[in-house]
A and B are shown apart, each in its own frame.
Chain A
């Protein structure tokens, strides 16, 4: 919380929803999002790498068994939508899942206690990178790029263009504009729904925590119920954290798999 004068709910919430802005290659960025997401990605991948480097086909250690469980789970899920060569989609799905889980999980950490540690560095620091639409949109856009890339790679540019003009209604030239409009909507809605679903869930989660902490600031009774409901919401949020990361991963794999399908 900012060096407190009079407590105001609006001030408190909008303060916690303010990004630390910075400049990066002469463009405006949210420094807090970039640093936190980079840190979490490095931590997650470093953990996986530490296990993978010493992975043995013999009796696995507990950490290796846990990581293998995760990798096997991701592999199974990807396999169910993507039956071909998974040497690219598998690692992509694993990276997305681990990274998004870690970024989402930042929501569980209590903001005001983290703020105590962060205040010497900056008053403004949002810890949930996935509650920043830039992060989720960057991921969705990457998947979108891969989707276009695989469409052209698998079907050829001509094949893809043919698909854009001739599906889903038919190859009659009169239907071409309708086909193209339909495909356009489809291609635009994919990254939008992909990114906004995750962003919305995490942003709403963050907001509900903040509302509960506002209640907690209102007095003893408010503190009690705020803490109780905060606990409940945090426990429920564990499900949302994992579920949204899983949905995000599955959609990424499904979109890339759909690019491989011939109509």
Chain B
């Protein structure tokens, strides 16, 4: 165990040169690389977090929109159902009215036809009665002179 001053000094110089080289050429680029990567990773994580949040918020928004649309659709369906019921009701009423009107018209026609037929029949019967009376009497009945009589008979029929 001997201390040599020359060797000591040469190794101090060697050490100083190594430290200088390390501080100048090795430490800074490595630190820069490490710190840049740390920054990149931190940024990536922050971006991922932001993306997750925006996904969450848009999912919430979508849910809300769907819920709105669903309630709107239900409302529309309800309206449509009510409208359908109304239309059916209206149609039924209209049909009923139309039916009763047509029935009334038909009744009136029937009544008219009945009256007409009756008048006709009455005429025929009067003519028949006159013809019968003519045959019975063998004599011409003057329609003009006995018109009142005939009319009276016709009325009685």
Contacts and interface: CB of A to CB of B under 8 A. Distances in A.
B21 interface: yes
B35 to A, nearest CB: 8
Contacts of B22: 45, 48, 91-92, 94-95
Contacts of B76: none
B19 to A, nearest CB: 5
B32 A57 contact: yes
Interface stretch (B6-14, B102-110, B118-126): B6-14
B8 A141 contact: yes
Kindly list the 4 A-B residue pairs having the minimum CB-CB distance in the complex, ordered from nearest. Answer: A27-B6, A57-B36, A138-B11, A91-B23
A33 B7 contact: yes
A48 B26 contact: yes
A87 B2 CA distance: 35
Interface of B: 1-12, 14-16, 18-19, 21-23, 25-34, 36-37, 40
- Main secondary structure on chain B at its contact with chain A? helix
B33 A34 contact: no
Given A30-B4, A99-B18, A139-B11, 9 more contacts: A25-B10, A34-B11, A34-B14, A52-B30, A60-B37, A68-B34, A87-B28, A90-B31, A95-B15
9 contacts: A48-B22, A58-B37, A71-B31, A95-B15, A134-B2, A134-B3, A138-B12, A138-B15, A141-B8
Interface of A: 24-30, 33-34, 37-38, 41, 45, 48-49, 51-53, 55-58, 60, 64, 67-68, 71-72, 75, 87-88, 90-92, 94-95, 99, 133-135, 137-139, 141-142, 145
A172 B32 CA distance: 50
A91 B150 CA distance: 153
A72 B34 contact: yes
Contacts of B30: 48, 51-52, 55, 67-68, 71
A135 B11 contact: yes
Contacts of B31: 71, 75, 90
B20 to A, nearest CB: 8
A134 B7 contact: yes
Given A138-B15, A139-B15, A68 B8 contact: no
Contacts of A30: 4, 7
A71 B25 CA distance: 14
Contact of A87 (B12, B27, B37): B27
A29 B4 CA distance: 6
Contacts of A99: 15, 18
A92 B33 contact: no
Contacts of A60: 33, 37
B26 to A, nearest CB: 5
B23 A24 contact: no
A86 to B, nearest CB: 9
A136 to B, nearest CB: 9
B7 A41 contact: no
